[in-house]
Structure 1
Amino acid sequence: MPVQIQINGENAAEAIKELAVLAAGLNGSVATPESKATPATPKQERQSRKNQEQAKLEPEPAEERQLTNAEMNEQLDRDLPGEDTEEEEGPIPTVVELRAAAQGRDREKVKALLQKFESKSISEVPENKRAAFMKELESL
């Protein structure tokens, strides 16, 4: 059976004190952590303060709300389009078709559109976003 022990301290010296107390408790003897602990170096103390300050700045994770079955189904419908969605939007444009549509358009506007779709080039536009990209490209 695996056992995991976590020892916390403000710095290395305090962690060693806690370890000494734990070890003494396991052996059944009286702990004298002051005699075994080494003082923390200035570097360790600075790191400890830095860690404490960083912990204060990090926000507490918000509780996640449980979704109802209806909400989950609705979200799945949005995330996983069915066969009927592809028919409405038409076939997925190829990279060649996207490049042809981009020809003659304002280069800066095309670059801005690529950034919007989080792509560095037309060939990197994901297949699932190509129809929307083509629609916006044609509206430029």
Structure 2
Amino acid sequence: MTRDNDTERRRPDVRTSLDQWLDSRRGVLRKGIAASTAFTLGASAATGAASAQQDAPFGAVEFQNQTSDGTTVVVDSAILERGGFVTIHDGRLFEGQVTGSVIGVSDYVEPGGADHLTIDLFDVPGAQFDQSQLQNTQPLVAMPH
């Protein structure tokens, strides 16, 4: 066995490692932050994506599986470095409909954060909905902005 073959055999599969990392809780959180950063800072793309990522304020949410009456959900905690809002997205987010998937928006969250945010669903200023409450079990995503 040559040295090159030995090195390649021992090298971890970077793609597998990355996928595992992205599936971890930290990875899911970072993907959510990246998605919200892309959504809120999309207009600054002309200044350079790398610059926008470095200057982006920190934001994180904790959103557990829960049973709801269909009109509200509770975000366990939200950390927003510069203050902001938490949006609730339905499954259309996974189809690329970022703005169309927003079904709830929190009140303003002061810089630092808040615990136990109750967010009304289907009551988003400027949006119209075909329903007034969740009809069945479905995945929802909480995203800091």
TM over 0.5: no
Higher helix share: 1
TM-score (norm 1): 0.23
- Of structures 1 and 2, the one with the larger relative CO (CA 8 A, separation 6+) is 2
Question: Whose Rg is larger?
Answer: 1
